[in-house]
Amino acid sequence: MATVFLGTVVHTKSFGEFESFEKGFLVVDDAGKIIGVGQDYKAWASSNPAQAKGLTEVQLSDYQFLMPGFVDCHIHAPQFAQLGLGLDMPLLDWLNTYTFPLEAKFSDQQYALQVYQGVVEATLRCGTTLASYFATNHMESTLTLAREAVRQGQRALVGKVCSNCNSPDFYVESAEESVRATVAFVDGVRKLGSPLVMPTITPRFALSCSKELLKDLGDIAKRFDLHIQSHISENLAEIEVVKGIFKTSYAGAYDEAGLLTNKTVMAHGVHLEDDEVALLKTRGCSVAHCPASNTMLSSGLCDVQRLVSAGVNVGLGTDVSGGNSVSILDVLLRALDVSKHLDFFKKQNIRGTGVAETQDPNYIPLKYKQALYLATLGGAQALSLDQLTGNFVLGKEFDALLVDVSVVEKPMRRLSVDELVEKFIYTGSDRNIIEVFVAGKRIKQKYQ
């Protein structure tokens, strides 16, 4: 149903550009596309009389605003089953002790369905309108995840995970099986016929794939013009093993296989060397910044400002369950924290820690509006889907959140537009996200 929202509308246009319309408007057509947005609805309606006719009017309160939906650039759907558990180990031990045994259980279709219903529900409730999911090695249950995203109306990239080495006997496939199942999975997702869900090529990480398998996956991505996702430079111990096996840098290992393209998003990038950052920029690759996971698994502090300054697209990822929350709003706050902590190291002599080797008195940590960009348009750009979603540009799909900052506690005074957004970022939760829209369709409604 064609609708006009009347009230405060906010979005970002780039890393440094935040735009808001106080007492503004946004018009969505029957197809779920944005056909009008701005400050003066009366002026728009008089110059677009045919489109303005018969619109359903939704009046927002003084404490409500409309913003683009959150984009989660990196989430492991099966690990929702162990969310908040087993966070007492670094990456490689964590994988072997908790995560590989859990993911092996997804050969069971019933179990997979139960977990995948849960993760799609939970992320939608938290306002994730677009997610890039890792599933498991299992083709059938990964298709179940794709079907579940379609059924619940979430926009998603879904990947069958590929791993043929350095994995436990109970959770590994041959390169031939991996390639065959990946091609079948791509075909299976396309047969679903939904514009919301797309397949993405998903080598787990360089360490769990042979050079030959990585190359085959790069070829498949090229042949079918597919998105690609994986992990890069997450943890120092892992990086040393990768360099030992591939005899090149972490980024070099992927590049030799043709896996660094302008449709590639790599999670983490915490410890990338300067020449690797330059290579990602040259190839048009993006990074999914996962600050919660980087802290939980003791990986490190990723310097987002460094990546953005180098011209690399950056979005945010929950990295469930290395990260402890399904909410991109939580991750956004963690990104601000990590950036502040880096700022401390670069400017202060922290007692007990000493002086950072490279001080930078001119370092500027992330601002909340920039973090909002990373959580929305930055994420859409990182997933190469910004032509469809990420902000409120005419012709894009209406993927949006209706936020009400008065749900839990009414503010003590009337807030400005900037303050509404600031309040939501620093004190908000899924309870403040009262409606969620994907492609114009209302997915989550107000609590009754």
The site for Zn ion (CB under 5 A) is made up of: 267, 319
Tell me how far CA of residue 207 lies from CA of 172, 184, 204, 213, in angstroms: 13, 24, 8, 11
Q: What is the DSSP letter of 445?
A: -
Tell me how far CA of residue 442 lies from CA of 327, 398, 435, in angstroms: 19, 10, 7
Tell me how far CA of residue 338 lies from CA of 56, 249, 305, 366, 444, in angstroms: 43, 25, 11, 9, 31
Tell me how far CA of residue 52 lies from CA of 31, 38, 398, 412, 413, in angstroms: 15, 14, 17, 37, 34
Residues 6+ apart with CB under 8 A from 349: 355
Q: Which of 238, 252, 239, 234 is nearest to 289 (CA)?
A: 234
Residue tagged 């997702």 (tokens):
189
Quote the least distance from Cβ 205 to Zn ion, whole Å.
8
* Distance between CA atoms of residues 88 and 98, nearest Å: 10
Q: What is the DSSP letter of 59?
A: E
Q: Which of 123, 112, 121 is nearest to 78 (CA)?
A: 112
Quote the least distance from Cβ 148 to Zn ion, whole Å.
20
Quote the least distance from Cβ 295 to Zn ion, whole Å.
14
Quote the least distance from Cβ 231 to Zn ion, whole Å.
5
Query: For Zn ion, which residue has the nearest CB?
Result: 319
Collapsed DSSP state (helix, strand, coil) of residue 56: strand
Q: Which is nearer to Zn ion, 173 or 319 (CB)?
A: 319
Quote the least distance from Cβ 377 to Zn ion, whole Å.
22
Q: Which is nearer to Zn ion, 319 or 430 (CB)?
A: 319
Quote the least distance from Cβ 416 to Zn ion, whole Å.
38
Tell me how far CA of residue 101 lies from CA of 82, 87, 105, in angstroms: 11, 15, 7
Q: Which is nearer to Zn ion, 231 or 444 (CB)?
A: 231
Q: Which is nearer to Zn ion, 379 or 428 (CB)?
A: 379
Q: Phi and psi of 238, rounded to 5°?
A: -65, -40
Quote the least distance from Cβ 65 to Zn ion, whole Å.
32
Quote the least distance from Cβ 322 to Zn ion, whole Å.
6
Quote the least distance from Cβ 270 to Zn ion, whole Å.
12
- Please state the separation of Cα 370 from the chain's center in Å: 15
* Distance between CA atoms of residues 140 and 185, nearest Å: 8
Q: Which is nearer to Zn ion, 78 or 440 (CB)?
A: 78
Collapsed DSSP state (helix, strand, coil) of residue 99: helix
